[in-house]
Amino acid sequence: MNSSGDSTPRSDTNRFRMLKFLRIGFSLILLSIFIVGIFRTSFYFFIYLTNWGLTLTAIYFLVSSISYYYSKYMPATFILFETVWCIGWCIFVVFWGIVGPLKGHDIITDILLHILPIVLVIIDFALNEIIMSRKHCVFPIGVSMVYLICINVPYSIAVHEVYPLMNYKNVWTYLILFLSLAIQISALEIGIWIKRKQIGNQRILELELEGAKVISSVQNV
């Protein structure tokens, strides 16, 4: 598992503490938005990939906060980060590039759902030391496929299209799906490249060894 990298940078005490409190604060903010969304829309909340992304991002910040006290949750933190990083960028680009101009909502809702989550993830990315792995692209893509097969396709065909242009009867549907896949893969590749430039190869090796020890200790529990 190569996305090992300690998500809590102990080498820098100030950054460590800052990231810890930011994650706790971010989890509370996103959980509040999640609760309001559930009460306002009920079942329909999970029809949109945006809300799947919001939920996963809230879970990521919650689990990463808990991992400071219980290291056994650290491996889950790595995978969750890779997942919300890729899906978050996909939601941001597709919404503001395609969906938003065709199906606008009120600006406050758009900012809270389509900008805020990825901004919080970017802040976390700048401060953490999570080393992402190409082979973990299966996680964001897997989540997207579950959403697509279980929610988007049946609802769009049987009830009404969830997103403009995506009715599975035109070429636009499949172009958007291909674009979404390309964005997720590109986001992961760019994240890997930036993090390696940011941290350096020697530190990456240290983090991979440290992460391997954490994972081994969790597996032996």
- pLDDT, tens digit, for every residue of 155-184? 999 999 999 999 999 999 999 999 999 999
Residues making up the chain, counted from first to last = 221
State the average pLDDT over residues 12-30: 91
Chain-centroid distance of CA 8 in Å reads: 18
Position 14: which residue type? Answer: N
Confidence class for position 219, pLDDT limits 50, 70, 90: very low
Mean pLDDT (the chain) is: 87
| pLDDT over 90 percentage in the chain | 68
In a domain, 106, yes or no: yes
State the average pLDDT over residues 68-88: 93
| pLDDT given for residue 3 in this prediction | 43
In a domain, 8, yes or no: no
- pTM of the model as a whole: 0.86
In a domain, 141, yes or no: yes
Dist CA 20 CA 67 (whole Å): 10
In a domain, 2, yes or no: no
Q: Whole domain around residue 97: which residue ranges?
A: 13-219
In a domain, 5, yes or no: no
